Amino acid sequence: MDCSICTALPYILRPPRNTICAACYEGAKSIISLTNKLENDKPTNNNLLSSSNSNKGFANALKWVKEMKETEEELNEKISYLSGFAAALRDQIHTDIQIMPGNNEPPIPAHRALLAARSAIFRNVLDSDECKAPANETIMLAELNHEEVESLLEFLYSGSLPKEKVEKHVYSLSIAADKYEIPFLHKFCEDHMLASLNSSNALDILEISHTCSNQNLRETALNFIVRNMEDIVFSPRFDAFALKNPHLTVHITRASFMDIRNRKTSAV
């Protein structure tokens, strides 16, 4: 069927020229349904107004897309503006505290105010009598090496990290986010681990989820392991994991048996 939307030359179509194909029709319905849902989710005291907006069809959808584009541009401007904090770290502008990694590695200069704003634990430490000290006092992060501390500070200052740093340090950063109460970093690491979950890292993610008491991550990793038991249990990584984490191995075994039982029950 000729389609007035996706055809390359709509002006050559035979009348009527307002017909559309099934794919464009379904796409249009999905777009309108999404925009109507977003409109209905907005808090409003005027149900008639909300109902009226939902009947505007593509006009409403196009208006919504324009608003989202403007919001995106505004957020990008804010991100660019706030990136000045990262420059302050990089250029060591008026730093007033040293962050000491473990293993006596060189300290990294930082700013008390930003650390206190990003982490409730850092704020408590810096507010304590022991840390009301002159500039260049140190905070020791013994569980992190120099690269990990650098990545942690980069995230605290910029709210993001390059992909290669995330992949390399996501486990240590997740533990740091839990220990120092940094919710945004905690969610950032969780999202990355969920998106990258596979047979080669599922055991590591399960271990991290237990360390950080992350129930959502734990359940997702455990379910993935159960669905891919053969690949994971017979991998070289599993022996070392089982010796180090007998309690988690028990959870895997129980979850596997529960899965088998449920599948047998549903098959009857």
Per-residue model confidence as pLDDT tens digits over 179-219: 999 999 999 999 999 999 999 999 999 999 999 999 999 99
Phi, psi of 160 (to 5 degrees): -155, 170
Residue the block writes with tokens 């390359």: 8
Q: Judge whether residue 8 has pLDDT over 70.
A: no
Q: Judge whether residue 220 has pLDDT over 80.
A: yes
Burial 195-215 (b: 16+ CB within 10 A, else e): eebeeebbbbbbbbbbebebe
Q: Enumerate residues 6+ apart whose C-beta is below 8 A from 90.
A: none
**Predicted confidence band of residue 50 (pLDDT cuts 50, 70, 90):** very low
Separation of first and last alpha carbons in the chain = 47
What pLDDT sits at residue 130?
54
**Predicted confidence band of residue 15 (pLDDT cuts 50, 70, 90):** low
Burial 55-73 (b: 16+ CB within 10 A, else e): ebeeebbeebeeeeeeeee
